[in-house]
Structure 1
Amino acid sequence: MASTLADAHKAVFTEDLRRKISALLGEREQDIHKAIDASGPAIHTAILKRTELPDGPMAIYNLSQQAVGNDLHGYLHELVSGTGGLAVGNALSAKGGDYYKAILGERTEPMVQEISRFAAVKADSAAFLLGLSAFVALDAIGRHIHHNSLDLAGTNHWLWSQRDAIVASIPAGLSVAQALGLQRLPGSKETTSARRNSLVYGIIAIIILIGILFYVFKTCNRAPTYGPNQNDTTTRAVTDTAAPPDTTASYPVTLPNNTTLNAVKGGTEDRLVAFLSDPNQKIDRKNGNWFEFTRVRFASNSAQLLLESESQLRNIVGILQAFPKARIRIGGYTDNTGDSLENLRLSQARADSVLARLEAFGASKHQLDGAKGYGSQYPIGDNGTPDGRSMNRRMALEVRDK
């Protein structure tokens, strides 16, 4: 039984789990380490802040007892020792998301952005780790409550007994207070003595300043001269240019059944819906009507989908449900480096993985016309350049009927 929240956080996030999370999120291991080590203290501080609100202690008390019943360690065991992957990641993301949003409230987005900035990870990765850290923290609180038969007051006292250790564990450069919308961290209060000393020092400074000014104006009968820094009036012209359009910003795509998807303007979903909605767009039986996925990613040299792929795959399922006559086929591609047979095998495995996830997310089987791996065939970029090879490592869907 961990004696503190920091101990519980450290015990859960083993090296094996950190490596697994890095692969699942498609992030560098060193960045994931940094994000994990920041997410714990950030959530612990947010819990303290939450308990300062009128309903906060009861909210944390209830959430922690709920978390104990949600089998955190079972999920983590499956993630580390089993196949893990997208299914377990999705479950942890959903449960953790509920917890960290309940703790952070309106400060959810600022904290996600701060972890993302601090650790140089994607916002989705930061959100996942904050959610998992919240799940870990609440589970630890709940277990401590049951083990020690604590009531609400006892739980709150135990949490605040860790305040100094929590503050000390915040990594340098992580702006937790700012992300929480606070001028100072929870429990940090100016003392009467400090305020009194500040006032005395201020008065003394004013007296000294008055004396200096009196001396200057009394003894000098000419205007004061200024050093070069004060006399330097050189300025730089500022060019007011419009920022380039944000091609990753959320964009609503409305479907015929009046549901709306959060997608990207000009992205896969946007173009696919436009094609399916336009009666003048015909099926090309010779070359096919292909639409590349823009947000489907895999772990390196693996057919394991990354967690960030979920939103686009769910959107595709939503589109198929809105266009029941549509039928698609999945295609997988690689660049031309390495063994051609291995590339073909990998592209097929990845295409099969996408098809399986679409089925798992509710796509009708009669709308899915299989999956095909093409290996390094049909490149769309120059395999002689890194950017071109990156373009060729892609997934796409072909509209077979509409």
Structure 2
Amino acid sequence: MSTSILDYAKELLGGNFAQAAAEKLGETPDGISKAISAIVPTIFGGIGNKISNDPSFLTTVVSEARNIFTNHSLSDLGSLFGSGTSSTEGTQAGSFLFDIFGGGLHGIIEKISSFAGIKSSSTRQLFDTSGIASLGSLGKNLIENNGTPDSIGEFFKSNKASFLSSIPASLGLSSLLSGLHTHAADAAHGVTSAATSVASRAKSSSKFLVPLILGIILLFLLIWLFRGCHGNENAMVMADTMQEDTTAVMPATAVRTLTAVVLPNGDTLQAYPGGIEDQLVKFIESDDYKNATDSTLKDKWFNFDDLNFKFGTTELDSTSTRQLNNIAAILKAFPDVKMKIGGYTDKKGDSTANLKLSDSRAKAVQTALNAAGVGSQVPEATGYGSQFATVAADASDSARAVDRRTSVRLIKK
């Protein structure tokens, strides 16, 4: 079965596909073929890895595969390029890929683009098309060859290592995919092991607990007596320290309550009052937007308030999914609206590195929205680094936080 599934996927992306894609994307056929050689095993390896870590995902794979093969034409995938709009198949495949790779998709696209010598935007479209081919090949097996969810699950289980080994070693994606879905499990295991270790030590050392507790009580009594003389002075120092720490983490820890934001198409979002979703919907529905030109919109940016990247990387944290999905839903509710993503950093560090980081992060958000099916409405993403930062590089981290942001603005072109 493994041969027939993979052969059909390759068949869908073979023939004149590379030439057609190259012409429409402005690339070379060799570059397209090289990218496809890495993308297909990456997708199959990603699916296999996802299923092994989350067996329930197999249901999604089977459902998506049946739908693609039954309801969409797979005979000319090259025609999907350069249409200027997102196809139904492309939207479905893009969303499916984001389910597999999450915020790591952008980094994978960048690596394969560099490997194949083609633009990131071209690789992104090739990923969507390869996703269609991969799901279509699975759907063909399920429907025409009487495949079952169990047989598909076994296919991925038995061939997972083969998929990963087929990815060009120079990309370093095999190790990335292997660890993509395991961090949470590893963390949980670590916590469990630590708790077990502590419990074991506590049990073996129970004979020391009584004197230890008495010592702690005595220590607190001494502290309480000492504060009777110096309490006010120490309280002031403690208050200053806590105030500084609180200021530094306030944006992440302040208690906020999600409320409903109703869209014109009847969809309801869960968002924070006054947050980016609330602001965008109100502005889009206002006369200010209706009467605006692209020139007047250039200075009106809306800041993401629940979008996070893993420290020092361009990989979106899983906590960003809700807000990204909300932005995608807003764009779907207002199909004529288009937006640009902007990335910004503070002044600390090397300005060139900051510019590159901000640009990659802006494009990571663009990639995520493309995967959510609204790529044609997010045609631009640019990083500005510290160009517009206002706080000095030697200021406190909390003071510089205002300059570190990812934003959107609406465009009319």
Please report the TM-score for the alignment, with normalisation by the length of structure 2: 0.42
Higher helix fraction (1 or 2): 2
The structure whose RCO (Cα within 8 Å, separation 6+) is larger is 2
